[in-house]
Amino acid sequence: MCGIAGYLADTPPPDAADRLRAMVAAIAHRGPDGEGTWCDPAAGVGLAHRRLAILDLSHAGRQPMRSASGRYVLTFNGEIYNFAELRAELDGLGHSFASRSDTEVMLAAFEQWGVPRAVRRFRGMYAFAAWDAARRELHLARDPLGKKPLYLHEAHGVLAFGSELRPLWAWNGGVGALDPAGVRSLLEFGYVRAPLSICRGIRKLMPGEHVTVRVGDDGTLRSSSERTWRAQDFGGPESIAAAHDGEPGLVERLESLLVEAVRLRMVADVPVGLFLSGGLDSALVAALMQSQATAPVQAYTVGFDDPRFDETDAAAAVAGHLGLRHEAIRVSEREVLALVPELPAVYDEPFADASQIPTVALCRATRLRATVALSGDGGDESFVGYNRYVEGRRIERIVQKAPAGLLSTAAAALGRLPPAPRQRLLAALAGRPVTADQAQKLLRVLRSPSLGRMYDDLLRAWPVAPMRAPLPAAVELPGVRDVPSMRVADIEGYLPDDVLVKVDRASMSTGLEVRSPLLDVRVVEFALGVPVALHLDDRGGKRLLRGVLERHVPTALWDRPKAGFTPPLGEWLRGPLRPWADELLEPVIAGRDEWLEASAVSAAWREHLAGRVDAQGRLWPVLSFLAWRRWALAS
């Protein structure tokens, strides 16, 4: 895993080489083990790379790398997990290799099959730029699930690209103007939804997108784009369940896919560890790692002062059963809070998922001990693990049975109750404990009950962003009609734009590679092919994952209410983080901020401080935007 940057232009500026070096210097944190640049001034192309050495630590693995014939030059961020299988096939076709790196295998695959066909054969996480000297084309591609990022900016006959925004700022000589649509997305969802970015004129490649760019005869850039993979293309045909003899056969097939996915991700020339929380997903990865390891797997758990969010005892129990080497890394509340002012620099683009704070703490602590860590990310989306899937099915049934107008009447009555009893009643309706912020969202759902409305409300921090007029057009969410379409919407939106951004920036800010077996494309395709009803039972979602884990770890060690990874942010904003928040919010509340509307933000802050509502979900995107803007302008 690394960082990449580069450009393509009909007529590069005279200082193009200097700009390229500035671009790659801006992402030095993504690759602490080396730097490389390559330019062809006559072709108007330049590629750059920062290396985090994982496979073949020698100089033979350096990038940008040329193919054997010299036709292709590649700069690549990520890992191709099936590189050994591809290498064996290519070796049989007459290709030879000078290194043990997956980068050289990718180049040989381009030579053999061409870039578009080769991309469809890669299993991994990646974002890359490949120059085809014969066709004078630049290929830019991102992996199917969107684990690795890639930003593009085109202006004045130049296309520039990078793993983060900072390389593009380095090329352009500054941050530039903000995109109002990107700001609105951040405030309403807590993240900037692709293809938008926070900066005007800069866009993200979509997951599974492959862009081909060339300079036309008239000197203008010509580009074409295709999506090579979409979750929506893998429906839920009933034949999959029948083909594997119902649930037992599905569990058997899933375990074989997961064993392979874990095995492929254990390959490295550096120390490999495991994030272990003690929950289902990480326990499953741990079990399948240890079953294939020749020595005890090293597992890491971050422990926090607050017992409500500390899972070290549960993780230790799983580790003890499996025979792992387990290290509980204690991180004090003071250390966690000290990370908050650093978050803009860590995330590059403003980002407001509060679990980003402990995620950064986990990655920093783990990087002191390992270079690669496997994680359980991805189980909730593909295997129907979020509470909203269970609640969605419940709402479908309620809407079908409830007389017209009854739910809106009940919502009105609940809205008149004091916060505490209202929260208790809504928790009973949801069938699980809910926070005050979640209770407010559930109340909005009852006022207009539909799965599409529920999904929209549960994802939104603000119903409408607190921005000064004129308000840009709203970001359109994919249409959600039922629970299966909700799952697809999560895989194509929430997963790459929130979950994977959180992990990528937190890990790469400290030079740690995180690998996610549950996001292996074959595993995801299998999960999507299984009807949602077979992922759910009276215990909730992830029915098939539970079936696999029960073969390895006693249920009592991992089957407990979903804890999540969210810190007590609301309490912190009333306590130790209040001076930081007051300073950021003061110009907004005084009406001097050019972007944010004073009355809505002021009311949320005032109500939160008084304890009348828990407004952390609305305040965190606002504070994240303000902190990021101050950092970006200072940068």
pLDDT of residue 236: 52
> What is the sign, positive or negative, of the torsion defined by CA atoms of 574, 576, 578, 581?
negative
Q: What number of residues does the chain have? A: 635
Average pLDDT over residues 428-457: 76
The type of residue at 503 is V
pLDDT of residue 613: 87
pLDDT in tens, 89-119: 999 999 999 999 999 999 999 999 999 999 9
The domain spans of the chain are: 2-229, 232-383+509-557, 387-483, 569-634
pLDDT in tens, 474-512: 887 788 888 899 999 999 999 999 999 999 999 999 999
Looking at 3.30.750.24, 3.40.50.720, 3.40.50.2300, 3.60.20.10, the CATH number of the domain 2-229 comes to 3.60.20.10
Average pLDDT over residues 301-307: 84
CA distances (Å), 190 to each of 447, 501, 563, 596, in order? Answer: 23, 12, 20, 15
pLDDT of 377 over the 90 cut: yes
**Inter-residue contact 178 to 198 (CB < 8 Å):** yes
Q: Tell me the two tokens of residue 615.
A: 């407004």
Separation between Cα atoms, residue 499 and residue 211, nearest integer Å: 24
**Domain 2-229 identical in fold to domain 232-383+509-557:** no
540: left (phi over 0), alpha (psi -120 to 50) or beta: left
Taking the model in full, what pTM does it have? Answer: 0.93
DSSP state of 596: B
pLDDT in tens, 53-82: 998 888 888 999 999 999 999 999 999 999
pLDDT of 635 over the 80 cut: no
Closest CA to 13 of 202, 160, 184, 166: 160
User: What DSSP line would sit under 169-185, residue for residue?
Assistant: HHHHTS--PBPHHHHHH
The CATH architecture to which 232-383+509-557 belongs is 3-Layer(aba) Sandwich (3.40)
pLDDT of residue 219: 80
